[in-house]
Amino acid sequence: MSIERINHCNPIIGQKYYLRLLLTVVCGPQSYESLRTVQGVLHNTFKAACIAYGLHEDDEEWARCFEEAIDFSSGRSLRIVFTTALLFGDITDPLKLCNRFCTSMCDDLTYTLEHNETVRVPEGLHDADLDYGQYLISLILANRARPY
């Protein structure tokens, strides 16, 4: 059996895109597992297999971007860059990237929470600035997700 034509897929589609990408380089796959196996290692997702084949980049480019931006950007600017990367940057592991730079993305919020009377922090909340930063990120994402 041969595949004559494979339809175009956008990376936003997710696993279908990575499946398509693997079908272009893996010769004679017998199953989905054989597509996800790279040098004897079975990967959990098609995306992970694409990264192992070198077909897709990891998040190190985004990490370098954040490392450079930390020196001259505010927490608000970093949150906007992070949400832009989430929406358009095809991040491999968003939680890992967020955890790595969360402190820098929220460095402006301690002052905001202490001096803004409209924002009330519940009693006993640990890392209120980090929680508030995640809330602000969700607002930015919700705002950008609205149709125009």
User: What does 63-128 look like in DSSP terms, one character per residue?
Assistant: HHHHHHHHTT--HHHHHHHHHHHHHHS--S-HHHHHHHHHHHHTTTHHHHHHH-TT--PPTT-TTH
Q: What does the pLDDT read at residue 42? A: 93
**What contacts 143, CB < 8 A, 6 or more positions away?**
none
Looking at the structure, do residues 120 and 66 belong to the same domain, yes or no? Answer: yes
pTM: 0.62
Q: What does the pLDDT read at residue 1? A: 57
Looking at the structure, do residues 34 and 71 belong to the same domain, yes or no? Answer: no
Q: What does the pLDDT read at residue 73? A: 87
CA 35 to chain centre: 23
Q: What does the pLDDT read at residue 148? A: 44
Looking at the structure, do residues 77 and 22 belong to the same domain, yes or no? Answer: no
Looking at the structure, do residues 31 and 71 belong to the same domain, yes or no? Answer: no
Token pair of 14, please?
A: 């997710």
Looking at the structure, do residues 40 and 80 belong to the same domain, yes or no? Answer: no
Q: What does the pLDDT read at residue 146? A: 54
Range of 17's domain? 11-53
Residue-by-residue pLDDT tens, the chain, 148 positions: 565 677 766 666 778 888 888 888 888 888 889 889 988 899 998 888 988 888 777 777 788 888 888 888 888 999 988 988 888 777 878 888 899 999 899 888 888 887 777 777 667 667 788 888 888 898 888 887 554 4
Looking at the structure, do residues 26 and 67 belong to the same domain, yes or no? Answer: no
Looking at the structure, do residues 69 and 130 belong to the same domain, yes or no? Answer: yes
Among residues 100, 114, 99, 111, which one has the least CA distance to residue 74? 111
Number of domains present in the structure of the chain: 2
